[in-house]
Amino acid sequence: MSAAIVSTRFSTPARTRPDEATATVPATRLRLTRRGRVVFTALAALPLIAWALVAVLGSGGAAADAGSQAPASFEYVTIGQGDSLWALAESIAPDGDPRVLVDEIIRLNGLDDAVVEPGQRLALPVVP
């Protein structure tokens, strides 16, 4: 019976005694190149960087706006037959541009357009 010995090393194996052939080979240590270390470090640091960005950028707007604005006050009105946003804007601020107030009312109430129905309740901004 014959046996073939296959080596994973690049050098030629030295002659071994028969009892040494069955000995276990120690595991090799993992070696990383410089680029491998950079990639491994970047992948390990990525969750920390993402958390820091969310923490800094996520709370920045709320922290900046916390004390700068006064609480908004609204007046509520129920739309009657024949009422329009244009007429409401003119009654709120007769000297101002009604287009600006109509846009503000649409934005404030989440309307798609300037069409209102009788019985609809709208929040109107209080103009000083």
Helices (H) and strands (E) in the chain, counts: 4, 2
Q: Assess whether 54 and 92 both reside in one domain.
A: no
Domain containing residue 47: 32-62
**What is the pLDDT at residue 106?**
92
Is residue 96 a part of any domain in this protein?
yes
Is residue 20 a part of any domain in this protein?
no
**pTM for the full predicted model:** 0.45
pLDDT in tens, 23-35: 576 777 888 899 9
Reported confidence tier of residue 55, pLDDT bands at 50, 70, 90 = confident
Spatial distance between the Cα atoms of 98 and 86, rounded to a whole number of angstroms: 6
The residue type of 113 is D
The contacts of residue 100 (CB under 8 Å, 6+ apart) are 89
Output the domain CATH number for residue 89.
Answer: 3.10.350.10
In this prediction, residues 31-47 reach a mean pLDDT of 92
Query: Who has greater pLDDT, 1 or 112?
Result: 112
Q: Assess whether 53 and 82 both reside in one domain.
A: no
| Three-class SS state of 59 | helix
Q: Assess whether 119 and 78 both reside in one domain.
A: yes
The contacts of residue 126 (CB under 8 Å, 6+ apart) are 73, 74, 75
Number of domains, the chain? 2
Q: Assess whether 45 and 85 both reside in one domain.
A: no
